[in-house]
Amino acid sequence: MMLRSRPGYRRVGISLAAVTAAALLLASPGIVSAATDPDDPVAGDEVSLQAAVPSTGWEDNQEATDRAAALLAQMTLEEKVDMLHGELNNYYGFYNAPIERLGIPALTMADGPAGTRIANPEVNGKRSTELPSPLLMAATWDEELSEQYGQLAAEEAFSSGHNVLLSPAVDIARVALAGRAFEAFGEDPLLSGTMGANNLQGIQSQPVIGDVKHYNVYTQEQNRLVGGNAVVDERTLQEIYSRPFDIGVESGHPGSAMCAFNKVNGLYACESPDILTTILKEQFDFQGWVMSDYGATHSTTAAIMAGLDQEMPGNFSPDEQPGTSFFGQPLIDAVNAGEVPIARVDDAVTRILRPMFALGLFDQRPVVQPLPEAEHGAQAREFAERGMVLLKNDDLLPLAGDAASIAVIGADADVAVQGGGSSQVLPTYTVSPLQGISERAGDDVAVTHIAGADPVTGTALLPGPQPIPSDYLTPSIGEGQGLYAEYFANQDFSGEPTEDRVEPYVGVNGGFLLYEGFNSSSPHFPLQTGALNTTDLSIRWSGSLTAPVDGTYQLALVSKGTTTVYLDDEAVFTTTPSGTAEIRTVDIPLVAGESHTLRVEYVNDVPAETDTGPAVKLAWTAPEGVVAPQAQAAADLAAESDIAVVVARDYSSEGSDRPSLDLPNGQDRLIQQVAAANPRTIVVLTSGAAVQTSEWDGSVPAVLQSWYGGQEQGNAIARILFGDVNPSGRLPITIPVDEASTPVSSPAQYPGTGLDQSFSEGIFVGYRGYEQFGIEPQYSFGHGLSYTTYDYSRLRVRSDGVEAAAGEGYSVDVRVENTGDVAGTETVQVYAGPLPTDAVETAPKSLAGWAQVDLQPGERKRVQVSLDPDSFSYWDVDADTWVTPAGAVPLYVGTSSSDIRLTGELQAAPTPVAPVATTLPAITGDPTVGKRLRADTGVWDQESLDFSYQWLRDGEPIPGADDDRYRVQEADRGAQLSVQVTATPEIGPAGVAASEPVTVRTDAEVTVTPDPARGDTDTEFTVTVTVAPRQEGVVAEGTVTLRVDSQRFIGTLANGTVDIPIGEQDRGTHRIRVTYSGSDLVEPAKGSASIRVTR
């Protein structure tokens, strides 16, 4: 497992004031696109993909800093602001236009994270490698593989005209039903952050900027665009939801981050100072730029001052809708009005330019070129093979060579299923499970396919019962099973339909799910497109309904628009428009075999609402024991076959959470029927995340979780089933018994009360919560079976001296032996138990580290696992830092969070605390030019400290002034001098304290004016003394001493002047000498004059 330095307040970012503005070349020669038009994604010749700079640590690239500063100095306000908002461009996910005058390239961004989504039809026909889902990648627990995953995606991004890849997502899988869980790395912060960091390293090994997202606390789709508010305490925010981003920033060095749609504790994530600035930019020292998710900007001044650097997508149509961008003209106006400092704009622009320079975007322009489809397809297959998880195996797998026939069952078994939404890609080719099994089985094995159920579409995301199966529906026009559907471009069913066809069931779920390229519905259901997302729409389904058995059937209608359902020409449902998909039910007695006319009329008069379109579903709950003919036919085929493989799928997508963990369209019942017919039944789950298996798990001998396995999923599944690959995937999530049996199962927690989601479970998310609350899962976090067995022994807990005292040298090693007959890869998992503290409640188990080992049969090796220090710490909300309580911490070593093979104990060292000055440093000496000052270190609360010094002039470091003594210079006149003392202990962080400033006194001119300058012995003389400091704005105060011969007079200055009467004087010429005593701000000074006294 990758080690990282301990997080903390690493305030070492580069300030604009400290950046040199040396005139450097803005773009270096070398590998550059041959395109003449910077907006042309096609023009150009082939280029090397080798990056010009190291893939990580770009923040320390001084050349990039200098080039960014030089370029910034040449930019107008309008050009700066132009970089801070995008322009809608349908050829890219996000887009920021080039500034040709300055040679600034366009930011051409591709959606991820499951490959590169190509939007331009002229680029490879929009096709790229469909990678397995990131959740599958997390199931590999393989950091090197995650880096390769990111590199492959970035290579394809660059080769398709992109220089930013909107990937990875490191959102925590808090909610079992979450629609986008497949896009991220699971429920554990350490696993998620580590896999994300490696993914970023792979992305940025190319001239492509990675984008860590969706920051922060983005855990559900419901209410995401209408102000859904995560109500979360500070400790949970830090330990669970921010931690993957911390790891990603520190170890992955992303050039950009994306803030999320949702609110966090009442503020939008994209305008929260705590989220964007205090935590991300200051605590994590993130030096890249923050862009908004699509339309997630809600203000100008509040957002940019909170820390948002770039609005996306910006103007939807700059010509037709000027001002639709908060960061366009409104930002220019805010700067001119003094509401936004220009320094904040400069900081935002610099945050964009520096990674652009450092990661090669100026020097290596993306050029469209052919993709290595076969090579990348082979990599995609390897990823899939490594991440598929064998959940159950009662001696059925791997398949032996004695099977003469295999039944492959599933409506989409002949489809390479993937998730929906912006992460969906158009694959270069696909291998379905059916194809993979058929080709691997060979000509001697009869492989037969049957659907067994209706195809799955986005209708599965509507609540309520499942659609009436096509088995019981007959179209009024056309052939086959289902209903005759007519689509009209109006709301009254008038005229000829724009389209008509037979559809298996009544179901449309529009809006976001029907956007082009976002729809992952089965191709076996007639295509529904975004053209349906209009109020000029009405749909009529007609045909007949025939019940399979006598009994009471509960019909259910789910609808947003006006809908009427007619049975035998009588209205059984009539609904009015609604902004939500409401469920209405009615019980109807039906007689087996009787046919009833059925007509459903839907009008899409849905109230205007974000991300909506037509939504309607006609469903039922049939009497107990009803088996659909399709399922029975599948069971019959299974009974005739040696092996039955049921390929079951879900529908997961951005834009909507799943309504339940049940498999859609009766697939649970299908599995039961097939398993009853053939005891040698294998279930392959092609799902985005967890599905409920408890209803049928006990009746099947083998279950393979194949996730969304990418375009090569069929080959990967087949190679595992037949034993060509020994499965080694481990669950990155917990699979619950059902959706009510999770740590987040109350309505207040999910979907929330109103718009507020209560994170009342606190840190007890995922497996932490299952153990804390005593909830038994179906399959535990970290679980995964192999075709071999492993023995664990001889646990040793190690720590490495000073590093261990700093909390970073903990490790364990254990001997692992392959006790089976085949080679395999084992993932050794180490969990920390409860921490030795009563200050807070800590988790029963927290993943502290893992390591993987490849073993041949009979081979054994010692495996060392480095442990993450934060697993032995908690976030102290009062101290705003991580704290490691001293004492014994239980260690659990095993193959999952519940399968513990060995236990031990680690003595945690207390968190080293920076020394604190109980008495501040002080400056002694005269703060006058030429005089020497001395620094007193003050009094500190720790002993054995090494001290270092830095003298400051008006708060800025004085070059070379790093001793405990300092001679005041001419340049210091009128300035404030202070000394910053750094106290460094033998172990742990240093403490810093600064003295109170002292002001270096300015010099002054003393003017002495006698009145009169000449008189006789009867004259009463008065002398005016003026002390004029040379430092503008300083007024001399204090006293002056005036001497005339042996006479002495004292005067007190008022506004720098004083009149001193000296009375009558003797005859002769008298010298007047004045001495100014000085003040805190002005040096002592002298002046003189003369008077002449006559007779």
What CATH number is attached to the domain comprising 275?
3.20.20.300
Residue 122 has pLDDT above 90, yes or no: yes
**3-state class (DSSP) for residue 191:** helix
**What tokens does 348 get?**
């935002």
DSSP secondary structure code for residue 37 in this structure: S
pLDDT score, position 807: 53
Is 264 found in the same domain as 153? yes
pLDDT score, position 960: 94
User: Does 989 map to a domain?
Assistant: yes
User: Does 47 map to a domain?
Assistant: no
User: Does 329 map to a domain?
Assistant: yes
The amino acid sitting at 361 is: L
Is 59 found in the same domain as 146? yes
What strand order describes the sheet that includes 932-936? 922-924, 932-936, 965-967
Query: How far is residue 1063's CA from residue 1019's CA, in Å, rounded to a whole number?
Result: 7
Give the residue from 947, 965, 999 where a domain finishes.
999
pLDDT score, position 96: 95
Query: How far is residue 158's CA from residue 147's CA, in Å, rounded to a whole number?
Result: 16
Among 42-51, 144-153, 457-466, 907-916, the minimum mean pLDDT is found in 42-51
Residue 1 has pLDDT above 80, yes or no: no
CB of 687 closer than 8 Å to CB of 704: no
pLDDT score, position 743: 98
Looking at per-residue pLDDT, the higher value among 225 and 273 belongs to 273
Query: How far is residue 659's CA from residue 751's CA, in Å, rounded to a whole number?
Result: 11
User: Does 572 map to a domain?
Assistant: yes
- Which CATH number covers residue 806? 2.60.40.10
Q: pLDDT grade, residue 955 (50/70/90)?
A: very high
* 991-1020 burial: b if 16+ Cβ within 10 Å, else e: bbbbbebbbbbbbbebebebeeeebeeebe
Mean pLDDT (whole number) for 370-385: 98
Is 645 found in the same domain as 610? no
Mean pLDDT (whole number) for 329-335: 95
First and final C-alpha spacing in the chain = 103
Mean pLDDT (whole number) for 240-245: 98
**3-state class (DSSP) for residue 706:** coil
User: Does 1049 map to a domain?
Assistant: yes
- Which CATH number covers residue 929? 2.60.40.2700
pLDDT score, position 579: 78
Q: pLDDT grade, residue 316 (50/70/90)?
A: low
169 contact partners, CB below 8 Å, separation of at least 6: 113, 134, 180, 183, 184, 185, 196, 213, 214
CB of 255 closer than 8 Å to CB of 359: yes
Range of the domain at 425: 374-454+628-772
Is 750 found in the same domain as 671? yes
pLDDT score, position 372: 97
Is 1008 found in the same domain as 980? no
The amino acid sitting at 859 is: E
Biggest CA pair distance of the chain: 146
pLDDT score, position 169: 98
pLDDT score, position 7: 36
The amino acid sitting at 332 is: I
Mean pLDDT (whole number) for 59-81: 93
Query: How far is residue 900's CA from residue 898's CA, in Å, rounded to a whole number?
Result: 6
Mean pLDDT (whole number) for 612-624: 93
Question: pLDDT tens digits for 81-104?
Answer: 999 999 988 899 999 999 999 999
**Per-chain mean pLDDT for the chain:** 92
Q: What's 1025-1053 look like in SS3?
A: EEEEECCCCCCCCCEEEEEECCEEEEEEC
Q: pLDDT grade, residue 317 (50/70/90)?
A: very low
CB of 1049 closer than 8 Å to CB of 1070: no
Nearest-CA neighbor of 893 among 811, 792, 788, 769?
792
Is 606 found in the same domain as 646? no
Strands 562-567 and 595-603: antiparallel
Is 728 found in the same domain as 636? yes
User: Does 134 map to a domain?
Assistant: yes
- Which CATH number covers residue 564? 2.60.120.260
What is the number of structural domains in the chain?
6
Residue 51 has pLDDT above 70, yes or no: no
Strands 107-111 and 164-166: parallel
Give the residue from 974, 999, 1024 where a domain finishes.
999
Query: How far is residue 611's CA from residue 488's CA, in Å, rounded to a whole number?
Result: 22
Q: Work out the number of other CB atoms within 10 angstroms of the CB of residue 38.
A: 18
Peptide bond into 121 cis (omega under 30): no
Mean pLDDT (whole number) for 29-33: 28
Q: pLDDT grade, residue 800 (50/70/90)?
A: low
| Rounded percentage of the chain residues whose pLDDT exceeds 70 | 93
Question: pLDDT tens digits for 622-642?
Answer: 999 999 999 999 999 999 999
Residue 52 has pLDDT above 70, yes or no: no
pLDDT score, position 925: 94
Residue 438 has pLDDT above 90, yes or no: yes
Sign of CA dihedral 743, 745, 748, 749: positive
| Angle (CA) 929 934 936, round 5° | 150
pLDDT score, position 1050: 96
Give the residue from 587, 621, 655 where a domain finishes.
621
Is 747 found in the same domain as 635? yes
Question: pLDDT tens digits for 397-412?
Answer: 999 888 999 999 999 9
Q: pLDDT grade, residue 914 (50/70/90)?
A: confident
- Which CATH number covers residue 667? 3.40.50.1700
Is 465 found in the same domain as 427? no
User: Does 3 map to a domain?
Assistant: no
Q: Which residues pair with 1090 in a beta bridge?
A: 1071
Q: What's 901-961 look like in SS3?
A: EEEEEEEECCCCCCCCEEECCEEECCCCCCCEEEEECCEECCCCCEEEEEEEECCEECCCC
| Rounded percentage of the chain residues whose pLDDT exceeds 90 | 85
CB of 259 closer than 8 Å to CB of 293: yes
pTM: 0.85
Query: How far is residue 991's CA from residue 984's CA, in Å, rounded to a whole number?
Result: 7
Q: Work out the number of other CB atoms within 10 angstroms of the CB of residue 531.
A: 15
Question: Which secondary structure element, helix H or strand E, spans residue 668, and what is its range?
Answer: helix 667-677
Residue 445 has pLDDT above 50, yes or no: yes
Question: pLDDT tens digits for 462-513?
Answer: 999 999 999 999 999 999 999 999 999 999 999 999 999 999 999 999 988 8
Is 809 found in the same domain as 739? no
Mean pLDDT (whole number) for 535-554: 96
Is 512 found in the same domain as 378? no
| C-alpha of 680 from chain center | 42
Compute φ and ψ for 118, nearest 5 degrees: -100, 125
**3-state class (DSSP) for residue 367:** coil
pLDDT score, position 608: 66
Q: Which residues pair with 96 in a beta bridge?
A: 107
User: Does 76 map to a domain?
Assistant: yes
**3-state class (DSSP) for residue 716:** helix
Is 124 found in the same domain as 60? yes
pLDDT score, position 1095: 74
320 contact partners, CB below 8 Å, separation of at least 6: none
Contacts 24+ apart (CB under 8 A), 377-380: 377/129, 377/428, 377/429, 377/711, 377/712, 378/712, 379/129, 379/148, 379/152, 380/129, 380/130, 380/131, 380/132, 380/152, 380/710, 380/711, 380/712
Among 37-41, 91-95, 205-209, the minimum mean pLDDT is found in 37-41
